Chains A and B, each alone.
Chain A
Amino acid sequence: MDLEYTPEEQRFRDELRTVFYEKVPAEIRERVVRGQISREDIVASQRILHEHGLAVPHWPTQWGGKKWTATQQNIYASELQRAAVPTPLAFNVSMVGPIIAEFGSQEQKEKFLPATANLDIWWSQGFSEPEAGSDLAGLKTTAIRDGDEYVINGQKTWTTLGQYGDWMFLLARTNPGAERKQQGISFILVDMKTPGIERRPIKLIDGSVEVNEFFFDDVRVPVSNLVGEENKGWTYAKFLLGNERNGIAQVGTSQRVFAELVDAAKETDVEEGTLADDPDFRSRLHTAKMRLLALEATQLRVAGASADGKPDPASSLLKLEGTRLLQSLTALRLDAGGTDSVLVGDTEGTDGTPVGLSSEHAASTAALQYLNMRKLSIFGGSNEIQRGVIAKAVLGL
């Protein structure tokens, strides 16, 4: 056993750090820390990464992939998160990109992959529906063939950042009469400017609009937008879920949040000394620290063991604990700030100008971030689903 990277791996990490810290602007990374990242930040940052060959490292090499080892992929994800660089848009780089590269036509590859890697196209995911959340195969949206076109009718929901979407990849029923609900589903690309699409923003618990609903009313898309074979969409969706493993434990993010938490504790006065001297808070910090260490060690231990293309039960463990931990860190942050935590930054003064009630204080927006992070254990396969996967795939229950 050893705890050090090889000299090559260290060199690799140093090269990444140069790009992450010196090429990606500090203002963007600061906004990531404050949870105030914009569309422009995500685009700008991904283009910088792409310019340095770091936006789509797990794609096939002819489309910009790097053929990294599992350890290198780990280093990449952790360093990116730790540096507070916006993660390259998952819908583009982890979801639709690999699907098109694997199953798309040559024409689709040429048309979409370079633009997807460079975030010239912003993709949205159209999977979930009101009646099909964790039970995704229960989706009802239909795409019925009419000559050279599919006619799409139905409703998609929980479309993250859909307000920015140029295109959407969606799952729809091309054969509503299929015997099993997993059959007769196709993977289709939709230009969001197509007539018949209506968006409704969904306001969230923290007041933000991060997700949307989309209504499709006789939306006509060319058959050439079908990816792979008709009625095989479920297979491709499963391939995609197996792809989501990278960085799923959020180790780098939690390391960064932990360091911020310690800094904040050192700056918060209590009766004697600072919060960083308080035995109860120290104890909670230590618990979080050791959970983080356990998570990182587990990620390093299982990184090499996972097989590509199939959902890896180890990724369920990493998702389960990674999200629980990040959530508990945001809870600690909330408690550290006390009453200040629940203040909301930008609000209006009596003269109508924006006032940052708590903006000078480190606890600003802690409650909003805490509330927003409740999503972690719900999306990407809820933690109950992950427990189900572990029970079935690992324990044989």
Chain B
Amino acid sequence: MDLTLNEDQEAFAESIDDALARKYTAEFRGKAAASDVGWDEKLFSTLAEIGASALTIDEEHDGLDAGAGEVYAALYALGQNAAIEPFLDGVYLPSWLLSASGSAPDEVLSALAAGEAIAAVAHSEPGRVWDAAPATTATGDGSKVTLSGTKTAVAHADQAKWLLVTASGDAGFGVYLVNGDAEGITRTDGRTADWTRVSRVTFEGTPATLLGSAGDQGRRAFDAAVARARIAVLAEAVGLMDRASKVTVDYLKSRKQFGVTLSTFQALVHRAADLYAEVELARSVALWATASLERDAQTDDTDVDATADDAFVYIAQAARVVAEEVVQLHGGIGMTFETPISHYAARLTSIEQSYGGVAAARRRVLKSGSPLTAPTVVRS
């Protein structure tokens, strides 16, 4: 029974934190987000060199074939710095989808592993909940499939070399591989509230290749890959919460009002203690979900989706409390773009709504048997 990262994983997290910590001021993040690509290319390469891009890809494609613990370590460290380099949405989630299909071109996985390119997952559609069948259609079969429809909030579509697009075809749900510069693609680029680059992408007769198989099996594979991402993003959330609450505690120690530091006011001190409890409990849930994934990888259990929803619902709640509290405890300065706290709060807010959002996760949970099953961490 052990719910802690091992030494190698800890060291990996520290090496990423080291690479980011000195640089990642609010100003740096703002500039990176406003650059042509939407993040800092040099830092992305540095992190790729220490293995961040290769984690989830198998050794055949020059990846590290690492487990959920390593992904946790990477995203936790990225979260601690509110880093916007696109490892989860640009590399990990695409790689899980590609690997699950068993039919991904070798060069795509190898390029992702090397950090030479990223891919984007296009699933959300305007006015449609995440769990609904896509309105985007796939027409034709064999090598001549074309896609038509509109996707929204596609993270990093502007820089992606490939798009992984969900669509409904004759055989049902499928994930399709599309070249970023394929014909029939129209893009409108924008950003999310946390300054992540996203696009609305319209496809009109865009040539595409089915990954794996279409139908229920394809949907299950997609949901399982997204469930992994839902768990992975929780590590980022815990990293954000951890650093944001530490920064807030430091602020309480240094900021003076009425001639004394804020730390002399018990009301504020007790809120800081509750903040600490919130973060530590959330950390435990994220580690539990990660350990469940590791275990499932060994035993072929298929309750990844349920674990992801359970954990996501819990941590989204914690993320909201922490985001609101760290801004409140900073007072007016917490509202400004120039303080890192505002970036942490904005990112936490986006995470709550990622992959369909917390309300949808809660709906799935309530339909399942989860609320009535006795909770226990230890399995036997």
Contact = CB atoms under 8 A, between A and B. Distances in A.
Contacts of A2: 1-2, 291, 294-295
A292 to B, nearest CB: 5
B187 to A, nearest CB: 39
B269 A255 contact: no
B376 A4 contact: no
Interface string A322-352: 0000000000000000000000000000000
A286 B306 CA distance: 12
B291 A317 contact: no
A307 interface: no
Nearest to B270: A387
A396 B295 contact: no
Interface in A260-289: 262, 265-266, 276, 279, 282-283, 285-287, 289
Contacts of A394: 276
Nearest to A281: B371
Interface string A22-66: 000000000000000000000000000000000000000000000
Contact of B372 (A5, A262, A296, A386): A262
B147 interface: no
Contacts of A5: 1, 378, 380
Given A388-B273, A390-B273, A391-B270, A10 B366 contact: no
Given A5-B380, A293-B377, A301 B253 contact: no
Given A71-B1, A286-B371, A391-B270, A296 B377 contact: yes
Given A293-B285, A294-B282, A3 B371 contact: no
Contact of B313 (A265, A266, A290, A320): A290
A222 B269 CA distance: 46
Q: How large is the interface on B (under 10, 10 to 19, 20 to 34, 35 or more residues)?
A: 35 or more
Contacts of B1: 2-6, 9, 71, 300
B179 interface: no
Nearest to B317: A287
A389 to B, nearest CB: 8
A204 interface: no
Nearest to B379: A3
* Chain A residues touching B, majority SS: helix
A297 B294 contact: no
Contact of A301 (B4, B294, B372, B375): B4
B65 interface: no
Residue of B253, B288, B310, B362 with most partner-chain A CB within 10 A: B288
B378 A4 contact: yes
Interface string B351-364: 00000000000100
Contacts of B283: 298, 301
A321 B253 contact: no
Q: How large is the interface on A (under 10, 10 to 19, 20 to 34, 35 or more residues)?
A: 35 or more
A286 B370 contact: yes
Contacts of B281: 291, 294-295, 298, 321
A384 interface: yes
A289 B314 CA distance: 10
B272 interface: yes
Interface string A288-319: 01111111111011000000000000000100
A396 B253 contact: yes
Contacts of B272: 391, 395, 397
B294 A317 contact: no
Nearest to B284: A297
A274 to B, nearest CB: 11
B283 to A, nearest CB: 8
A255 B376 contact: yes
Contacts of B311: 290
Contacts of B159: none
Nearest to B248: A395
A370 interface: no
Contacts of B280: 298, 317
A283 B4 contact: no
A289 B371 contact: yes
A259 interface: yes
B5 interface: yes
The 3 closest A-B pairs by CB, nearest first: A297-B284, A387-B273, A1-B291
Given A2-B295, A296-B378, A300-B378, 9 more contacts: A9-B1, A297-B288, A298-B281, A300-B1, A301-B287, A317-B277, A320-B277, A391-B272, A396-B253
18 contacts: A1-B3, A1-B4, A3-B291, A4-B378, A9-B1, A71-B1, A286-B313, A290-B311, A293-B288, A293-B310, A295-B284, A297-B377, A317-B277, A317-B280, A321-B281, A384-B270, A397-B249, A397-B253
